[in-house]
Structure 1
C-alpha cells in the first residue's frame, strides 16, 4: 500500500530561537519513500542536518521571532501487513546479549528501573520468558493505565504512571519499557506515525505515536502497550532510551505552540 504522511507544526516566538526537529522518517525506511521527506519552514530559514548518537536524522535551524511553521509531507510504500507476531522469539540471558543492546537494560530519564524492579519481578517472575512475558507486560500496562490526552504531562516517569494510572502513549511506553528492563529484556523507545488504517470509525485527530521495540531471539520487535494490538502502517521516525532522547521538536527558548497537524492516510 501507499501512505501519504506528514505534519505541520506552528509556533509563536518572542525572539529568534534555536530549534532541533526529529520529524524525518527513520533511515531504515528510506528505501520505501517515493521522494525525499524534506522539512519546510515558513518563513524559510536555513536548515542543517546531522545524525544523533542513535542514528536518528535531526534538523536544526534558528526560528525567527513571530509566527513560524515547520512541516513535511511525503508518500511511503508499506507492506500493508500488521506488526510481526513471533511467539517463539526467545529471551536471551544477559551474558549472551550483544553489547550494543545493554544500554537498553539500564534506567533512563523517564524509565526509573531502580524504583520498579521489585514490582516488576513480583508481577512477572512467573510468566514464561520471551515473547509471552513481554506480551504479559503490555497486557498489564494496557489494562492498568487509562488513556486520555487531558492526562498528558511531559515530566511523568514510569513509576509515576504506575501510581497515577493515567497517561498518554508515551507514558504507556515508558512503563512497559521499564518493566522489560527490570526483567532483563532490552527495550527502547520509538516515536513515529501510526494512522488508523484498518481501525473502525470514529477516528481521533491525527497525532504522532509512541511504542517500544524489545530485543528477543536476535532481533528487535515492535510492541505497542497503548493500543495492545497489531497495527498496519506504522512508520518509525526515531529511537532512543526514552522520550528525552527523541523529542519531535526541541526549542531552546520560549515557543508557544499554535498549530499541530499530523496526517497518515492510505492512498487508494
Structure 2
C-alpha cells in the first residue's frame, strides 16, 4: 500500500532565529519512500542536514524575521500489515546488550526510573520476562492514564503521568518507557506519523504521534500504550531516550506557531492520488506538549 504523508507548518519569528528541525523520515524507513521526502521553506532559506547521536536526520536553518512556511509532501510504501506481535520475544541479559542499546536502560529527563523502580518490580516482578512483561506494562499504562488533548503539558514526566493519571500520547510513552527500563528492558521513545488507517477515524485534528520501542530478540519492536492494539502505517521520524531528544522543532529564540497541519492517509489502490483532508488547528495540543522546544 501507499501512504500520502506530510505537513504544513507556519511560525512567526520577531527576529532572525536559528532552528533545528527533526521532521524527515527516519533512515530506517527511507528505503520505503516512493517520492522524495523534502522539506520546503518559504521564503527560501539555506538548510543543511546532519545525523544526531541517535541516527535521526536533523536540518539546521535560520528563519528570517516574519513568517516562515515549512512544508513536506511525500508518498511512502507500507506493507499494510499491523504491528508485528511476537509473544515469545526474549529479553536479553543486561551484560549481553550491545553497547549502543545499554543507554536505553538509564534514567533520562522525562523518565525517572529511580522513583518508579519499587512500583515496577512490585507490579511486574512475577510476570514472565520478555514480550509478555513488556505487554503487561503496556496494558497497565493504557488503563492507568486517561487520554485527552486538554491534558497536554510539556513539563509532565513519566512520574507525573503516573501520579496525574492523565495525558496525551507522549505521557503514555514516557511512563511505559520508564517502567520497562526499571525492569531491565531497553526502551526508547519514538515519534512519527500514524494515521487512522484500518481503524475508525477519530474526530480530532490529525497530529504527529508518539509511541515507544523495546529491544527484544536483538531488535527494536513497536509498542503503543495509548492505543494498545497493533496499528497499520507507522512512519518513524525520530527515536531517542525521551521527548527531549526528538523535538520536531527547536527554536533558539522567540517564536510562535501560527498554523499546523499534518496529513497521513492511505492512497486508494488503482486511483489517482486524491487531495487529502488536512485537519487544521491554530495549535495542536498534542504537538505543543510532545514535539516542540523553545529556547529563548
TM-score range, shorter chain: over 0.9
Shift of 1:153: 1.0
- Where does 1:101-140 land on structure 2 (aligned, <5 Å)? 101-140=101-140
Question: Is 1:71 the counterpart of 2:71 in the alignment?
Answer: yes
Give yes or no for the alignment of 1:214 onto 2:214. yes
Give distance in 2, aligned partners of 1:170 and 1:113. Answer: 16
- Between 89-98 and 130-139, report the one with greater CA deviation: 89-98
Q: CA deviation at 1:35?
A: 2.0
**2:196–2:202 Cα contact (<8 Å) kept:** no
95-104 or 223-232, which moves further after superposition? Answer: 95-104
Alignment match, 1:254: 254
Q: Which residue of 2 aligns with 1:27?
A: 27
Aligned counterparts, 1:177-196, within 5 A: 177-196=177-196
Matched-pair contact (CA < 8 Å) for 1:196–1:203: no
Q: SS at 2:15's partner residue?
A: coil
Which has the larger displacement, 28-37 or 174-183? 28-37
Following the alignment from structure 1 to structure 2, what is the Cα–Cα distance between the partners of residues 261 and 201?
A: 16
Aligned-partner Cα distance in 2 for 1:27–1:98: 20
Q: How many angstroms apart in 2 are the aligned matches of 1:197 and 1:203? A: 14
Alpha-carbon shift at residue 201 of structure 1 (Å): 3.5
Unaligned runs of 5+ in 2: 269-296
Distance in structure 1 (CA, Å) of the matches to 2:214 and 2:202: 31
- List aligned pairs for 1:1-268, cutoff 5 A: 1-268=1-268
Give the ranges of 4+ consecutive aligned residues of structure 1 lying more than 3 Å apart after TM superposition.
Answer: none
Give TM-score scaled by structure 2 length.
Answer: 0.89
CA distance, structure 1, for counterparts of residue 202 and residue 25 of structure 2: 27
**Contact 1:173–1:211 (CA<8 Å) still a contact in 2?**
yes
Q: Which has the higher contact order (CA 8 A, sep 6+)?
A: 1
Secondary structure of the residue aligned to 1:199 is coil
Deviation at 1:203, TM superposition (A): 4.0
C-alpha contact 2:17 2:64 (8 A) present in aligned 1: yes
**Gaps (5+ residues) in structure 1?**
none
Alpha-carbon RMSD across the aligned residues, in angstroms, is: 0.9
Q: Please, what TM-score do these two structures have when normalized by structure 1?
A: 0.98
Structure 1 contact 191–238 (Cα < 8 Å) conserved: yes
Question: Match of 2:273?
Answer: none
Deviation at 1:34, TM superposition (A): 1.3
